[in-house]
Amino acid sequence: MADTKEKMPLVRQIFTIPNMMGYFRIILIPFIVWRYLTAETIVDYRVAALIIGVSGITDFLDGFIARKLNMVTELGKALDPIADKLTQGAIVLSLSFRFKWMIPLVVLFVIKEGFMGIMGIIFLKKGMMLDGAKWFGKVCTAVLYVVMFILILFPEIPIAAANSMIIVCIALMLLSFGMYIPVFYKMWKEVH
């Protein structure tokens, strides 16, 4: 089965249903940012939240379809996390214009994802790849998405509640970052 995936022509890899969903999620990013940053009414915020919801559903479906229909590709393995991180980064940055506690989260996000990206490139050059997101990374991402969705869906949320949720995200991101370091260290020892 792995042989058929490797022999799939590049054109077919580019245009698989899951990869098309990944491209679609990237295309949605400017619409999410624009709708949120220009929002003037509750309906505008709800539309931004709806677009995020569509992006999230598409994110779930692309992985599900890739596995069920045997459409897992190397391109898709790279595209999915890129679409995730671009979406998360754009939303966190957009929210930082309204919620001051988002600024440390933006900084931490850039540091963590920069570290993950650099390590990913280093190991890719050595023929290794992180075998998917770890459970702690998935929990961090899920909580981040839920918090971002709530903050956009309910723009009149009390600032204390918003700050509490953002602080939880910061704590989980620090924990996830800290737990990824030994994973990469172990990979490093395997190649050296």
Domain spans, the chain: 2-191
For residue 140, pLDDT beyond 80: yes
For residue 123, pLDDT beyond 70: yes
CA of 15: how far to CAs of 23, 75, 77, 122, in Å?
A: 10, 10, 14, 27
For residue 1, pLDDT beyond 70: no
Distance, in Å, from the CA atom of 186 to the CA atom of 78, rounded to the nearest integer, reads: 21
pLDDT digits (tens, 9 = 90+) for 46-74: 999 999 999 989 988 988 899 899 898 88
pLDDT digits (tens, 9 = 90+) for 99-117: 999 999 999 999 999 999 8
Q: Is 154 exposed, middle or buried (0-12, 13-18, 19+ CB in 10 A)?
A: middle
Give residue 192's pLDDT band: very low, low, confident or very high (50, 70, 90).
confident
Fold annotation for 2-191: Four Helix Bundle (Hemerythrin (Met), subunit A) (1.20.120)
Q: What is the largest CA-CA distance in the chain?
A: 56
Residue 3 is predicted with a pLDDT of 43
Distance, in Å, from the CA atom of 6 to the CA atom of 13, rounded to the nearest integer, reads: 10
Residue 27 is predicted with a pLDDT of 97
For residue 165, pLDDT beyond 80: yes
Give residue 7's pLDDT band: very low, low, confident or very high (50, 70, 90).
low
